[in-house]
Amino acid sequence: MFRPINNHSIQIITIISLICSPVSLPLVKAQITHVILLDELDISKITQGTDRPRSTGDKANLSINGKKFLKGIHTRTESRLYFELDGKVDEFSAMVGIDDRNDANRTQQSSKESSAAEFFIIADGKVLWQSGVMKFGDDPKKVKITLAGVKNLLLRVTGGPGNTHVDWVDAGFSYSGQCPKTVWSPEELAVDRSNIQLSLPRINGAMVIGIRPNTPFYYPVAATGGRPMTFMADGLPEGLVLDEVTGIINGTPTQVGEYKVKLTVKNNFGKISRDLKILVGDKLALTPPMGFLSWNVIEGSISATVMREIADAFVNNGFRDVGYQYIIMDDCWEGGRDRYGIIFPDSLKFPHGLKSVGDYLHEKGLKMGIYSSPGSKTCAGYTGSLDHEDLDVKTWTSWGIDYLKYDYCSVPRDRARELYILMGDLLEKSGRSILYSISDGDISAKWGKLSKANLWRTAGDIRDQWFLGNGNGIIECFDRQQPKFTEFQHPGAWNDPDMLLVGIYGKGASANDLDAKGCNDTEYRSQMSLWALLSAPLLISADVRNISRNALEILTNPEVIEVDQDPAGRLPVRIGSAADMEIWVKDMEDGSKTIGFLNKAKDKRKMSIKWKDIGLQGKQLVRDLWLRKDIGIIKDSYSVTVFPNEVSLIRVYKKQ
């Protein structure tokens, strides 16, 4: 007997059919939410009033009103950190407040008590949250905001007096799309290079290079002028090839010998040729190394991202075109050792290891440097090389390291000399042409030859100030050089008065502690002049990704760099004995003379030199190296007005 199916039965059957039917239904994809902490991102892009930002990974020791925090970042007002988001960041949360800052070198107690700041979170130009004015001693405030749909985010802190120490702690994002990305502030993103004229090519940089046989060779022909360019090289040793488009020479030379290579660069305005001498043998660093050293502005924020961005800036901002080549990681890259004793980098900072970073640099014709200590711990407390020297050299070689900075920290004094010599022997046998930089105070110069080092520190850690009173200002580091270290320097072995400070302007973490206030462009130009006269290593420590136009022009002046890179590598000689006015004369390989007029007085001075006092007679062609133009044919003597802390730099050629 037939019984009708009621509506309820129809619904049940329909549901069962849908569940069991092979007919497909739209699937709901599970949404995965990720979390990342603020201090895990690249915070080096913060712009702030002074110093550089610090994270808990840098032992920032974050503390607000006595409360300690394990995670977060420390910055100084006025502070800005921009982010690019994809609209799929769900939330940002943090605690904010004035840092206790117990380090008396950085903030005096009297200024702490009057410190105040206000925190803002600005999304797509709209203020989403602000803390109100917070004072030293206030408890931290909590913030938690939704960011769905937001594309541009700004974390901003204003305040005073001075550059107040502030913290974003326990801070992080939750997101379901792309990871938040820090970017440079729109105000400081672009470097204006509109003043650089398209012109005839000019070949710059080192014109003599040493390399060990059967080791990798990287050399970008450094050339300025109108682009595009075509590069040519005649007489390259066997094993080396030139890329005519990029101008990069690479390969592996096999035969010991001296090779004279004719380089030619051609563009739409003309062409120029210059000889390059390649010595395949046992000599390295035949001119002072040029590059970037990360400590002063990057410190513990060093990462694979930072290294690649520095390399890009070397190319895009023209540093490679005037001869800078080494990009050197200072301390804080280390992650520890595995069970076999092999050192490894911090996996958060270098998720794909260091070989990939080296490969990236080498493709651009650049070279990678690394940092370690002969002690068990580095100066920042990370893993040193003590009792692992051979293993470390083999590891660094596998990564493609081209430069080692070996810093004196936690070293047993009675073993220091032995350990520096040991590392030099291992590097020589490494299978790579690795430059060796040592630092052990005044005695490092005496050990340089024994340890086969290519450069050694001759001054303390330089600070961003002309004169500091403790021996660490620019002029103080210069004054230490002569006559104390004159006997040690020659091509392949260089006195190192420490890093260039040009372009920091008071915003370096280490460069601006000990109350160093920063320098002006005149003083930065003077440091560049003095270091060039000394044939000193030119290691930039300002952030080249975000460099001012004036600093860029100082650091990339090819005529001043040519003085530093002169193959003779001679030290300057002081002429005259006035206490606050110094004249330094450097004999160049081509017979010309470079003269620096240094004014240490507090007011401008007129300074003069007679040609007969420096072995010249009659008429001389005088060229101003900072103006980059000929002054004229000058007979018998030359005079110039020099302002306080200024160096007037000229090059004198015999009139033909």
Q: Is 8 within a domain? A: no
Tell me which of 153, 183, 213 is where a domain ends: 183
Asked if 373 and 408 count as a contact pair (C-beta separation under 8 A), the reply is yes
pLDDT of res. 51: 62
What CATH number has the domain bearing residue 522?
3.20.20.70
Whether residue 500 sits in one domain with residue 380:
yes
pLDDT of res. 161: 57
Tell me which of 517, 542, 564 is where a domain ends: 564
Which helix (DSSP H) or strand (DSSP E) does residue 642 occupy? Answer: strand 637-642
Q: Is 18 within a domain? A: no
Whether residue 580 sits in one domain with residue 552:
no
Alpha-carbon distance of 555 to 499, in angstroms, equals: 12
Whether residue 299 sits in one domain with residue 233:
no
Whether residue 206 sits in one domain with residue 178:
no
Whether residue 385 sits in one domain with residue 272:
no
What CATH number has the domain bearing residue 599?
2.60.40.1180
Tell me which of 280, 315, 342 is where a domain ends: 280
Residue type, 416: A
Q: Is 1 within a domain? A: no
pLDDT of res. 184: 78
If you ran DSSP here, which 8-state letter would residue 40 be given?
A: G
Q: Is 364 within a domain? A: yes
| 606, burial (CB in 10 Å: exposed 0-12, middle 13-18, buried 19+) | exposed
pLDDT of res. 251: 98
Whether residue 365 sits in one domain with residue 251:
no
Whether residue 232 sits in one domain with residue 89:
no
pLDDT of res. 513: 83
Q: Is 4 within a domain? A: no
Q: Is 544 within a domain? A: yes
Whether residue 605 sits in one domain with residue 525:
no
Domain extent, residue 618, equals 573-654
What angle is formed at CA 308 by the lines to CA 221 and CA 168, rounded to 5 degrees?
Answer: 145
Mean pLDDT by 10 residues, the chain (656 residues): 37 35 45 88 80 62 89 88 94 94 42 80 91 92 95 88 83 94 69 51 96 97 94 98 97 98 95 97 97 94 96 96 98 97 97 97 98 96 97 98 95 88 97 94 77 93 94 94 90 97 91 90 97 98 94 97 98 90 97 97 96 94 95 95 97 84
Whether residue 116 sits in one domain with residue 62:
yes
Query: CA of 114: how far to CAs of 50, 52, 160, in Å?
Result: 18, 22, 8
| 296, burial (CB in 10 Å: exposed 0-12, middle 13-18, buried 19+) | buried
Q: What is the DSSP string of 144-172?
A: EEE-TT--EEEEEEEEESSS-EEEEEEEE
Whether residue 244 sits in one domain with residue 133:
no
pLDDT of res. 25: 40
Sign of CA dihedral 604, 609, 614, 617: positive
What CATH number has the domain bearing residue 75?
2.60.120.1060
Which of 406, 400, 409, 433 has its CA nearest to residue 422?
Answer: 406
pLDDT of res. 20: 36
Whether residue 612 sits in one domain with residue 631:
yes
Active site residues: 407, 461
Instruction: Name 388's bridge partners.
Output: none
Whether residue 542 sits in one domain with residue 464:
yes
Alpha-carbon distance of 564 to 485, in angstroms, equals: 17
Which of 265, 301, 323 has its CA nearest to residue 565?
Answer: 323
pLDDT of res. 57: 54
Instruction: Report how many domains make up the chain.
Output: 4
Phi, psi of 96 (to 5 degrees): -130, 155
pLDDT of res. 111: 56
H-type helices in 195-328, by residue range?
295-298, 304-316
Alpha-carbon distance of 122 to 156, in angstroms, equals: 8
Alpha-carbon distance of 86 to 243, in angstroms, equals: 39
Q: Is 196 within a domain? A: no
Q: Is 264 within a domain? A: yes
What CATH number has the domain bearing residue 259?
2.60.40.10
